[in-house]
Amino acid sequence: MIGWRLFGPRGIPGQAPAELTVRARKGASLDALPRLEPRLWASLCEGLRRQATARLVEVGERLGASQLSPAGSEDLATRDYMLALDAYTAAGKLLDEAATPPDFAGVLVLLDIAAHRFAAANARHQGKRPPHVPRRCFYNPLHGPAAHESDRPRGNGRKRSAVRGAPRTRLPVCAGCLHLLQSKQSPDVLVTPVTVRAGRGRVAGVPVPYYAVPAAQSLWSATGFGCLPGCSDADLVARVLRGESRRAAAPRAAPPR
Confidence of residue 33 (pLDDT cuts 50, 70, 90): low
Read off the pLDDT of each residue in 191-209 and give the average, rounded to a whole number. Answer: 78
Read off the pLDDT of each residue in 140-149 and give the average, rounded to a whole number. Answer: 84
Determine, yes or no, domain membership for 208: yes
> Could you write out the DSSP letters of every residue in 44-60?
HHHHHHHHHHHHHHHHH
DSSP reduced 3-state for 193: strand
Q: Are strands 148-150 and 171-173 parallel, antiparallel or unpaired?
A: antiparallel
Q: How many helices (H) and strands (E) does the chain have?
A: 6, 7
CA angle 33, 37, 41 (to 5 degrees): 105
Read off the pLDDT of each residue in 204-218 and give the average, rounded to a whole number. Answer: 86
Closest CA to 211 of 256, 248, 176: 256
Determine, yes or no, domain membership for 77: yes
Check if the beta carbon of residue 212 is closer than 8 Å to that of residue 221: yes
- CB proximity list for 52: less than 8 A, separation 6 or greater: 91, 95, 98, 104, 107, 108, 111
Confidence of residue 159 (pLDDT cuts 50, 70, 90): very low
**Range from 130-134, 165-169, 197-201, 248-252 that averages highest in pLDDT:** 130-134
- What is the Cα–Cα distance from 189 to 118, expressed in whole angstroms? 29
Tell me which of 124-128, 143-147, 165-169 is least confident.
165-169
Question: Does pLDDT of 151 surpass 50?
Answer: no
**38 vs 253, which has greater pLDDT?**
38
Confidence of residue 37 (pLDDT cuts 50, 70, 90): confident
Question: Does pLDDT of 150 surpass 70?
Answer: no
pTM, two decimal places: 0.78
pLDDT score recorded for residue 80: 93
Q: What is the mean pLDDT of the chain?
A: 77
Question: Does pLDDT of 245 surpass 50?
Answer: yes
Determine, yes or no, domain membership for 5: no
Determine, yes or no, domain membership for 257: no
Read off the pLDDT of each residue in 51-61 and give the average, rounded to a whole number. Answer: 97
DSSP reduced 3-state for 7: coil
Q: Are strands 152-153 and 159-160 parallel, antiparallel or unpaired?
A: antiparallel
Tell me which of 34-38, 64-68, 131-135, 220-224 is least confident.
34-38
pLDDT score recorded for residue 168: 52
- Give phi and psi for 120, each to the nearest 5: -65, -40
- What is the Cα–Cα distance from 108 to 88, expressed in whole angstroms? 10
Read off the pLDDT of each residue in 194-205 and give the average, rounded to a whole number. Answer: 71
Determine, yes or no, domain membership for 247: no
Determine, yes or no, domain membership for 124: yes
For the chain, the domain total comes to 1
Read off the pLDDT of each residue in 179-187 and give the average, rounded to a whole number. Answer: 89
pLDDT score recorded for residue 256: 36
Determine, yes or no, domain membership for 114: yes
Question: Does pLDDT of 30 surpass 50?
Answer: yes
Determine, yes or no, domain membership for 250: no
Tell me which of 10-14, 112-116, 152-156, 251-255 is least confident.
10-14
139 is in which domain, residue-wise? 20-26+33-241
